[in-house]
Structure 1
């Protein structure tokens, strides 16, 4: 049981449904992660992806070989990252239904975007993620996360998922949520040209729309097992924030009234 406050009906009494809603809004652990049926006996990937156990073994080994080049360096060079991205792109091209390759290419792209650049090439921007030069990388990164999620998501919410499938969904939803929240905050705080590198379709969603999208992704990341995503889902939930503001205002008035 979470340490979060429980909502018990009192006068005026809350309906059972109201109590459940409030509990879900403020208690991250009340999110329906128990509704996800993780079956460790299932094949790694859903049947509709048509990836056999033998093929998965080969793909996993090849993927590890590519990633090991990044892990061998404490701070991978741009050349190493670009090489890994190129090899992962080849893997995606030859096996377009293998979700993990998309997820790992997204991570490598993120590392490339944030990798140090020579001072002579630096734009001096505080947030390199949103530099105009990185727009193609950011667009591909978000597309890769979307594809990995689409391929891994069960066709029905009640369908069981494998352990690997759940972990992949937890990681990719959380990664995308982090980026969407970061973009939302950049749009809120950007000055002239501060949003030049953000894809147009995301600008059109606006800061609030992006934050809601991030909250949804955090929810699913938490639903599939990411503990940080569970907490962030509560912090970014617009209804929880609204209720929290109401509670704070009520407490303020009560304190002022008692002075």
Structure 2
């Protein structure tokens, strides 16, 4: 038995195009995820949102005040989280086209979901994510992320984005992908999971994983490095090709023993 498998040169080799396809599938750095043009000369937010520079500065300052109570403590109380959510509700009602407020309210809702009540001691975040009482919060969280993404996304895929716009899109796509993947994996364990919104159950585990993969792709496209790697891991085509390549290598190794 040989110590290591060797590939014989007589076997057919990949074409240049095949190699490029496989490289794009398995290497996040080579994929279009790094092709977005970030232009610091652009307005911070898309002009069609009708948020003047002066108003944006006020909104950002007010938003920082609201979330400061949450970021200044490693374990904010449920009361503090609920108070921040109520203040963000008011901000969004007054300024419904400001995407960052939706993104931050989604973060606050996530903190609320993962924060145990006074009668709970379980620190497993999945336990809180998949409970009947938190199902409305999960739905609201996903809705906020969707709104933030819709407001921040450029009208054309070829359009450049501002640094603020890119950061918002990277964060919100990655956040939504993480949640969708969590739900997908939970549904693989059991079809009828308590606390999962019905519309997510209807999509099914495989459908949710594909949605998560797409969100990871966009999160990576706008600059989130972890999302770039997760996009490769959850890409169904990459996984399929990976299985084919592994099987080919296994057979090649066996043939050289």
- Please point out which of 209, 215, 237 is paired with 2:235: 237
| Residue 175 (structure 1) aligned with residue 175 (structure 2) | yes
In the alignment, the residues of structure 1 paired with residue 68 and residue 121 of structure 2 have an alpha-carbon distance, to the nearest angstrom, of: 28
Aligned residue pairs: how many?
247
Q: Answer whether contact 1:24 1:30 (CA < 8 A) is retained.
A: yes
Range with bigger deviation, 16-25 or 154-163? 16-25
Q: Answer whether contact 2:114 2:125 (CA < 8 A) is retained.
A: no
**CA pair 121-35 structure 1, distance change in 2 beyond 3 A:** closer
> In the alignment, which residue of structure 1 is the partner of 2:201?
203
**CA pair 23-126 structure 1, distance change in 2 beyond 3 A:** closer
> In the alignment, which residue of structure 1 is the partner of 2:60?
60
| Residue 225 (structure 1) aligned with residue 223 (structure 2) | yes
Instruction: Quote the offset at 1:249 in angstroms.
Output: 1.6
In the alignment, the residues of structure 2 paired with residue 204 and residue 107 of structure 1 have an alpha-carbon distance, to the nearest angstrom, of: 25
Q: Secondary structure at the match of 1:119?
A: coil
TM-score (norm 1): 0.90
Q: Answer whether contact 1:33 1:224 (CA < 8 A) is retained.
A: yes
RMSD: 1.9
> In the alignment, which residue of structure 2 is the partner of 1:26?
26
TM-score (norm 2): 0.91
Q: Secondary structure at the match of 1:164?
A: helix
> In the alignment, which residue of structure 1 is the partner of 2:5?
none
> In the alignment, which residue of structure 2 is the partner of 1:139?
139
Instruction: Quote the offset at 1:226 in angstroms.
Output: 0.3
**CA pair 130-79 structure 1, distance change in 2 beyond 3 A:** same
5+ residue gaps in structure 2?
1-9
In the alignment, the residues of structure 2 paired with residue 79 and residue 180 of structure 1 have an alpha-carbon distance, to the nearest angstrom, of: 27
In the alignment, the residues of structure 1 paired with residue 150 and residue 232 of structure 2 have an alpha-carbon distance, to the nearest angstrom, of: 24
Instruction: Quote the offset at 1:239 in angstroms.
Output: 0.5
**CA pair 89-225 structure 1, distance change in 2 beyond 3 A:** same
**CA pair 241-21 structure 1, distance change in 2 beyond 3 A:** same
